[in-house]
Structure 1
């Protein structure tokens, strides 16, 4: 069954262009031209949402926050805003990617395909009990980490962060997203994520010099590299 892509943008010409391009790739495409129009289309359970930020009425950030608790699929923001702060706001609101206008249709299609592949790998990973990345092994069931068959001790939260990132390779998560995923909502500071990742990196590097699968995406967050 082809993947279902939902496009939400108030520029009808742009929506039509993206729709034609994605249908040529074999995707099933749903469209809306304002923020409110997305809600009745969610019943179709899209595999990915392309969401414009700057729309009249309910904008893309507000839409993302409203649906993120019930919609698990990747959300790719489109926006004419190019500042780092705007990208951070979009990712913090629950977005998975951010593409600035004007953009290349080839790049948009490539990003959509990449996100869908990651979702497939993530679904497969949830069925797996052991993840392997070179000499690094993560036992999801026993909650143990090994490097070259030697156990690397991790605290509960360190393991949770490691598992979360490893199950979504290549995907960028802000500190706020990681904090909400691991600690949940409530009092606390996302700065603790930085400290935990420093400790994870130090432990992995001590087990094997140069081993650092968690990279920093400056101004945005962290990404697990294969």
Structure 2
């Protein structure tokens, strides 16, 4: 499943342009045309908010402050103003980025990926020390995995895949998401390496467990998840 994005902008042309473009990239997109509507939608869990500064009812800076009280997701400001004091204010109230209209869709997509990756890495730093499922125990601080109290040798990338999935149990990650979050953009590998890494992980787990339990489960046509 893709990340959930909320677009907050009173310009319906912006909405009609951005929403399908982001959905093509695999994101789940909702939108609000004013600040009050945006705040009412925050009972849902969004991964990123694209927030216009010049809203008709509540200014975007105030909306950002209110969102930050209930959701730690990255907020990227979209605005027609490029003034330095406006950018500074946006960062002070909790925004992580500031994109001036008109903007390039390619640039926006790249920035989205960067901030989503940073958020995932930040989440990883705050997870509990141990994650245990069945016979598998993951030590987040030591970066090691035991099965039935025996230390099992996983490669760095294999471990990183297991850690990514296990700290988000039940959440489905596509091969594209796993590749972007774990492999560097300059890597010589391609996305097909994910399938081989998953196969090796499963083989090592199966060889060391006393019963057949598929810890990394395939959601056909979507991706992989940890546990049920």
**TM-score, scaled to structure 1:** 0.56
Task: Work out whether 1:6 is the aligned partner of 2:6.
Answer: yes
1:188 alignment counterpart: none
Give 1:16 deviation, angstroms. 1.2
Larger radius of gyration: 2
| 2:55 aligned partner | 55
Query: Which deviates further from its counterpart, 119-128 or 78-87?
Result: 119-128
SS at match of 1:30: strand
- Give CA-to-partner distance per residue, 1:7-41, whole Å, 9 cap, x none: 00010011111101100000000101111111221
Partner residue of 1:171?
none
Could you tell me whether the CA contact under 8 Å between 2:47 and 2:73 is conserved in 1? Answer: yes
Q: CA offsets per residue over residues 78-117 of structure 1, 9 Å max, x none? A: 0111111110001101111100111001111111111111
Q: CA separation in 1, counterparts of 2:113 and 2:125?
A: 18
Aligned residues: 131
3-state DSSP of counterpart to 1:46: coil
Q: Is the CA contact (8 Å cut-off) linking 1:30 and 1:41 kept in structure 2?
A: no
Deviations 1:116-168 (A, max 9, x none): 1111111122234479xxxxxxxxxxxxxxxxxxxxxxxxxxxxxxxxxxxxx
Gaps of 5+ in 1: 132-226
Alignment of 1:143-158 (within 5 A): none
Given that residues 64 and 93 in structure 1 are in contact (C-alpha distance below 8 angstroms), is that contact kept between their aligned partners in structure 2? yes
In structure 1, the residue matched to 2:115 is 115
Q: Look up the match of 1:44.
A: 44
Secondary structure of residue in 2 paired with 1:54: coil
Offset of residue 49 of structure 1: 0.2
SS at match of 2:126: helix
Which residue of the partner structure matches residue 92 of structure 1? 92
1:71 equivalent in structure 2: 71
Output the CA distance in 2 between the equivalents of 1:5 and 1:69.
Answer: 18
Deviation above 2 Å: which 4+ runs of structure 1?
125-131
Q: Does structure 2 conserve the Cα–Cα contact (< 8 Å) formed by 1:8 and 1:50?
A: yes
Could you tell me how far apart the structure 1 residues matched to 2:84 and 2:27 are? 31
Q: Which residue of 2 aligns with 1:28?
A: 28
Aligned to 1:83: 83
CA RMSD of superposed structures (Å): 1.5
Query: Cα gap change, 1:50/1:130 in structure 2, threshold over 3 Å: closer, same or farther?
Result: farther
d(CA) in 2 for partners of 1:60 and 1:51?
Answer: 6
Matches within 5 A, 1:150-189: none
